[in-house]
Homo-oligomer: A and B are copies of this chain.
Amino acid sequence: MVRIGIIGAAGLSGLELLHLLSRHSEASVKLVTSTKYQGKNVSEVFPELYQYSLTFNSNETDVLGCDVVFLAVPNQASLELVPKLLDQGIRVIDLSGAYRLADTEVFAKFYKLTHTYPELLKEAVFGLTEFFRQQISGARLVANPGCYSTCALLGILPLAELLGELDQHPVIDAKSGVSGAGGRVEDDSMNYVSVNENFKAYKVFSHQHQPEIQQYLSELSSYSSDINGEVIFTPHLLPVNRGILSTIYLHFRKQVDGDQVIRKYTEFADKQKFVEFMGKGRFPDIKMTSHTNRCMIGTECDQSGQNWVIVSSLDNLIKGAAGQAIQNMNIMFGLDESLGLQ
């Protein structure tokens, strides 16, 4: 049994980890921390987690006996905790954005934080499971991807070999439920009456997942920002609890063969347990992936065959956060990748 600690267990991602892990046959949660609920029983505060008899701890470094710790805390807290945990010999899966970006200047710009442990950035493995399995299996530190990044990268990267033919930057118009956009933050903007019967774009040209998508798209494909320009990414806030749907626009220099596109997606999805390609002209909605660890993808082109629209969808709390984190944990500990996720 893998012994697990969850720092920030009472946040939305932490709670989702608890939900999923309650059905995991080879892992057991030993430590949960929460400043707000310190000393209270998990199942008392959250009756739906009745399977747990744990008490919320407030000492985030009281991780003795854990094999791995999930960090589900704000960026700054993660930044500081990671080296402390690694020093104690604990493996870490960080759900924050603290260790995802290679460039500390870009990090500073988008996160408004100075990166105090740049040496760890080289060691951190980006936890986009489908592309980094090998590295994840031996990693001490996994930087679990952002929800928007996972959705966009899994939507585009199956076409990696074709991206050199792009005439222009991809346009990623992404829509997320509230839990993916800072859900339980106690601020007016996430209040029910602010969100319900509403819809808006936010952080236009300034969301921190833009450089994340940019970096890994460049690293994993023939796409080049020098030639194609920066990825355009616009997040929006949907009045739903969970789910992300990304509508991605690619413009190629010349016609792209439809069969080739279908083959790329199909071959990719066939190798992956949690990616499904719906085919040309069929598109996922967020309900299809809700409460699952799956990313579903559909695509269509216009008559010219140069313009392609890709729609990808996932559950931001599962494949976009806690689910993918558990998928990565399974790999780190030599377990079946899908344990606890079906």
Q: Which residues of B contact A232 (CB under 8 A)?
A: 249, 302, 307, 309
User: Is A184 in the interface zone, CB < 8 Å from B?
Assistant: yes
Asked whether, in the complex, the Cβ of B193 is within 8 Å of the Cβ of A179, the reply is yes
Q: Which residues of B contact A229 (CB under 8 A)?
A: 304, 306-307
Asked whether, in the complex, the Cβ of A199 is within 8 Å of the Cβ of B175, the reply is yes
Interface residues on A, range: 35 or more
Known interface pairs A239-B239, A278-B47; A193-B168 also in contact (CB < 8 Å): no
Q: Which residues of B contact A122 (CB under 8 A)?
A: none
User: Is A238 in the interface zone, CB < 8 Å from B?
Assistant: yes
Asked whether, in the complex, the Cβ of B288 is within 8 Å of the Cβ of A291, the reply is no
Q: Which residues of B contact A175 (CB under 8 A)?
A: 175, 199, 236
Within 8 A of B (CB), among A264-299: 276, 278, 281, 283-292, 294, 296
A203 to B205, CA, bound (A): 28
Residue in A167, A191, A251 whose Cβ sees the most chain B Cβ within 10 Å:
A191
Asked whether, in the complex, the Cβ of B193 is within 8 Å of the Cβ of A178, the reply is yes
Residue in A196, A199, A291 whose Cβ sees the most chain B Cβ within 10 Å:
A199
Asked whether, in the complex, the Cβ of B193 is within 8 Å of the Cβ of A309, the reply is no
Within 8 A of B (CB), among A168-189: 168-169, 171, 173, 175, 178-179, 183-188
User: Is A50 in the interface zone, CB < 8 Å from B?
Assistant: yes
Asked whether, in the complex, the Cβ of B240 is within 8 Å of the Cβ of A199, the reply is yes
A191 to B195, CA, bound (A): 9
Q: Which residues of B contact A200 (CB under 8 A)?
A: 245, 283-286
User: Is A311 in the interface zone, CB < 8 Å from B?
Assistant: yes
Asked whether, in the complex, the Cβ of B192 is within 8 Å of the Cβ of A191, the reply is yes
Q: Which residues of B contact A59 (CB under 8 A)?
A: none
User: Is A230 in the interface zone, CB < 8 Å from B?
Assistant: yes
Question: A247's contact among B51, B234, B342, by CB below 8 Å, is which?
Answer: B234
A238: nearest residue on chain B (CB-CB)? B199
User: Is A198 in the interface zone, CB < 8 Å from B?
Assistant: yes
Q: Name 17 A/B residue pairs within 8 A (Cβ), A-sorted.
A: A48-B289, A171-B249, A173-B249, A184-B193, A184-B194, A190-B192, A192-B196, A195-B196, A196-B239, A197-B286, A198-B287, A199-B238, A199-B240, A201-B245, A204-B281, A229-B304, A232-B307
Q: Which residues of A contact B (CB under 8 A)?
A: 12, 23, 47-48, 50-51, 167-169, 171, 173, 175, 178-179, 183-188, 190-201, 204-205, 229-230, 232, 234, 236, 238-243, 245, 247, 249, 251, 276, 278, 281, 283-292, 294, 296, 300-302, 304, 306-307, 309, 311, 342
